[in-house]
Amino acid sequence: MPTLSDVIDVLEALWPPQRAEQWDAVGLVCGEPDAEVTRVLFAVDPVQEVAEEAVRIGANLLVTHHPLYLRGTTTVAADSFKGRVVHTLIKNDVALHVAHTNADTADPGVSDALAGALDLEVTGPLVPDPTDPAGRRGLGRVCELRQPITLREFADLAARALPRTATGIRVAGDPDQVLRTVAVSGGSGDSLFDQVRAAGVDAFLTADLRHHPASEAQQAGRFRDGRPSLVDAAHWATEWPWCEQAAAQLDEISDRHGWALRTHVSRQVTDPWTVHAHAEADEPAEPTAAPSPAAHSAAAPSPAAPSPAAHEQTSVPTSSPGAPS
């Protein structure tokens, strides 16, 4: 059986820490270098539920995409949620290793896994790493669809192929626009609009798009050809496919070394959003249990200002993500 330092060596060969952004905090967070590793759990977020899952399945190593501590800290006391995670892990002999922006830019990286889940053909990085002579590493990926589909169909594909979350998929653009090329970037991608425009793709799928960058990208697109349309998925869902890719990479290395490691991927939805409610514009008003005064007035209720309570639709994620294709 390998020691933790043996496994960390191969993880750092896959995702060299020196390729992480300056501001990032990657690598080993806790763990005994000489301890044996038999079972590894991969997850996006180092949250308490995931730490407990690692303990429950008997993992000796938890590998997460997001850092537990991004900035300096002076305490890991268990009276904070991060300190509680550290205590849960150390008390149960579980090491924690983080591969964040060094996994984003890797070949294959986080956005390759995202493109793979969507069955897209990657043609190259969106922001190439200048130190890679092969031109394969870097942030985001530019992709071709295997056949042209509409923006609406692409959004449906993303909803089916990515793990289900309460947020679902949001789209900015003409639903009937035909797409041939798409840029994807796992996680927050609204700093990449300049590169997306330069790539000349039909659409951009990422997460955490904010009002102003999205609105300005849409307005600027109208002066040209409407491109790129935007497809916004849940941050966690865009990065979760990397966990399966990473586990498969470690499986392959384990087989080669005869390590017989058991690898697992957490299927807990750790996206922070739990409910998505919205009113359908064309949905007729339904009677409520406690009608509002407006419902009794002689005037017809204004369709522009329906009672939100009468139209609320609520969707709650399943406890486990759907299998990416």
Does 257 show up as a binding residue in the annotation? no
Q: Which stretch binds Zn ion (CB under 5 A): 48-56, 90-98, 155-163, 184-192?
A: 184-192
Q: Which stretch binds Zn ion (CB under 5 A): 181-189, 222-230, 283-291, 313-321?
A: 181-189
Taking CB under 5 A as the rule, which mask of x and - marks residues 140-179 in contact with Zn ion? ----------------------------------------
Q: How many amino acids of this chain bind Zn ion (CB under 5 A)? A: 2
Question: How far apart are the C-alpha atoms of 185 and 196, rounded to whole Å?
Answer: 10
- Coil vs helix vs strand at 41: strand
- Report in angstroms how near the CB of residue 207 gets to Zn ion at its nearest: 8
Does 211 show up as a binding residue in the annotation? no
Residue-wise burial string across 214-242, b where 16 or more C-beta atoms lie within 10 A, e elsewhere: beebeeebeeeeebbbbbbbbbbbbbbbb
**Would you say 67 or 306 has its CB closer to Zn ion?**
67
- Report in angstroms how near the CB of residue 247 gets to Zn ion at its nearest: 18
**Would you say 24 or 144 has its CB closer to Zn ion?**
24
Instruction: For residue 153, give both structure tokens.
Output: 């169909």
Does 66 show up as a binding residue in the annotation? yes
List Cβ neighbours of 119 (8 Å cut-off, separation of 6 or more): 146, 157, 161, 325
**Would you say 187 or 324 has its CB closer to Zn ion?**
187
Residue keyed to tokens 């058991």: 262
Instruction: For residue 216, give both structure tokens.
Output: 């300005």
Q: Which stretch binds Zn ion (CB under 5 A): 116-124, 147-155, 232-240, 277-285?
A: 232-240
DSSP assignment of 150-177 equals EHHHHHHHHHHHSPP-SS--EEES-TT-
Interface with Zn ion, residue 317, by CB under 5 A:
no
Q: Which stretch binds Zn ion (CB under 5 A): 46-54, 136-144, 187-195, 306-314?
A: 187-195
Tell which one of 17, 31, 109, 187 touches Zn ion (CB under 5 A): 187
- Report in angstroms how near the CB of residue 139 gets to Zn ion at its nearest: 12
- Report in angstroms how near the CB of residue 38 gets to Zn ion at its nearest: 28
Phi/psi for 71 (5° steps) reads: -120, 170
- Report in angstroms how near the CB of residue 124 gets to Zn ion at its nearest: 22
Residue-wise burial string across 106-115, b where 16 or more C-beta atoms lie within 10 A, e elsewhere: bebbbbbbbb
Residue 61, strand partner residues: 40, 95
- Coil vs helix vs strand at 86: helix
DSSP letter at 205 equals: E
List Cβ neighbours of 202 (8 Å cut-off, separation of 6 or more): 177, 178, 179, 180, 181, 182, 227, 228, 229
**Would you say 188 or 218 has its CB closer to Zn ion?**
188
Question: How far apart are the C-alpha atoms of 93 and 164, rounded to whole Å?
Answer: 32
**Would you say 85 or 98 has its CB closer to Zn ion?**
98
**Would you say 218 or 273 has its CB closer to Zn ion?**
273
Q: Which stretch binds Zn ion (CB under 5 A): 225-233, 238-246, 248-256, 301-309?
A: 238-246
Q: Which run of H or E residues covers position 121?
A: strand 121-128
**Would you say 190 or 239 has its CB closer to Zn ion?**
239
- Report in angstroms how near the CB of residue 186 gets to Zn ion at its nearest: 7
Does 100 show up as a binding residue in the annotation? no
Amino acid at 250: L
Q: Which stretch binds Zn ion (CB under 5 A): 7-15, 33-41, 235-243, 301-309?
A: 235-243
Q: Which residues bind Zn ion (CB under 5 A)?
A: 187, 239
Binding residues for a divalent metal cation: 65-66, 104, 235, 239
